[in-house]
Structure 1
Amino acid sequence: MICIRARASAARNPRHRPEEDNGKPSTSCSSRATEMEATVKPAGPSRSLVATRGTEGRVLAVLSLLALRGVLLLLNGFLLLLLLPFQRRTAPVPVEAEEEENGGRGKAVVARRVLAIEKVREVSAEEDEVGGSVREFAMFQTARGEALFTRSWTHRSLQPRGLVVILHGLNEHSGRYDHFAKQLNGSGFKVYAMDWIGHGGSDGLHGYVHSLDHAVDDLKRFLEKAILENPGLPRFIFAHSTGAAIVLKAALDPKIEALIQGVVLTSPAVHVEPSHPLIAVNFFPAIFISVS
């Protein structure tokens, strides 16, 4: 636009000399454009510098928060380690009392047991028509006076050549292994299984185990019972997840190790990650039991 005005002024007044305007020499279009660029350019770096400083500030703030979080986690882990020796075992969670005709057991326990018995009878009726395995249930009393729900699978015609005791995992029950037990029957093995405390049709608050030592002791007693009912047969244990951890701890007892010829474990709970990321707990070392 500056160049256009200069040309228009020269066209109206041919004698007009650009250098005589206001007694100052006029600047050309290119020189004025250069001045404008020189005036505008410094603003760009200034804004970029401000944006860069703001970004650096945000990055430093985030790094400070991460560092603070790391320090807090470290202090929390240190406090947990200090308090670890002072932990005490709490009393068992009381189970809701039921009326006297239910033997003082909670309503939930009675309902679970009734459901387990009905399921056994339902499947047994189907097996009577089809043939093959026969499934039965029984109640087993622990040393603490609690009742555990147990099952057994026996083939109708095949003579058993071995005994397998199944121990389920946490929040499971022995009925989930019905199909597997029938397959073992077809291979010549008689099968026993129990619902450990707080699971399936057994006594206890659903899903709650006060101590795995109780489950270990129950397994030992149940194994001895199954062996007494089937003398002379080779004995094996199949266990899954937390049940496998119980079997491993039970097998540390030389008496139990002498009673069995081998164990089969799936996904054994031998390494447990706690909720705190700074502490790792190994409940059981790696144990290998040879099959003789």
Structure 2
Amino acid sequence: METKNIIVAGSINIDLVYEVPHIVKEGETIHSTKHDLYFGGKGANQAVTAGQLGADVQFIGSVGADDHGIRAKENMERKGVKTEAISSKGVTGQAIIQLSDVGENSIVLFPGANFLVTPEQIQESEAAFETSDILLLQLEIPIEAVEKAAELAYANGVKIILNPAPACDIPDSLLQKVSILTPNETELELLTGISADSEDNLQKACSIMLAKGVQAVVVTLGSKGAFYMTSEESGFVTAEMAKAVDTTGAGDSFNGALAVALCHGDLLTDAITYASKVAAFVVTEMGAQPDIPAEFIR
């Protein structure tokens, strides 16, 4: 079977996970019952998911010139990601994660080297865009670098999946190049000002993004599944049932798997179903980059 090529331009972090009885409230001090270190970063999470699922994945990003950076790159390589376009400078990004007893999380990001990714670094990998099927993007690197990656992908007819997280103002010039936008409920509300609390509101909010030039919107709804909308159709895709122990990286694994399925020519609804199954497995494991069983490989 022909290998499918995916580029990921994005973030690489070390996740410092603190297990807590509940997510800390303003002004509250609580004890953590356990502390662990995992590999993370939205871009890296997406990339290792796609790599483990059988895609040929090239990553563009930056880690620190430190032990965390060395270990993060080695981990990505073990899981099928090409790291030649990852620079080493500054300090590796970190995510400080609270993980509650019911598997919910709260995250504070220290961007570190991720914010040292430049448009010039993206440009250096121009040749890779000429042979790729899909570009995966998030917003944990400077928006100028994101825009440069989208520009190169668009010029080469590469499908672009943008996960708008952390949510911020996105230039219309970028949205006009996006094939699929994949916000969660909170991100969709921040982008549109419309609460995603009903199907009617979901349609209204997604319509706003379609009007800005996005070809399709896929809203991840956690245990409720996903809602999708294009200019021709809309609907819900139910979630795979899973006993969540750690939801960190669920959306990232969804995006990585979605890209793999679309590379193989799946219809959007089928790709969402496959991505939901992969994400449902990931939340049953600790950390954002668990080993994915061979049964999921495309």
More strand by share: 2
TM over 0.5: no
Q: TM-score range by the shorter chain?
A: under 0.3
Q: Which entry has the higher C-alpha Rg, 1 or 2?
A: 1
Structure with greater helix percent: 1
Higher RCO (Cα < 8 Å, 6 or more apart) = 2
TM-score normalised by L of structure 1: 0.27
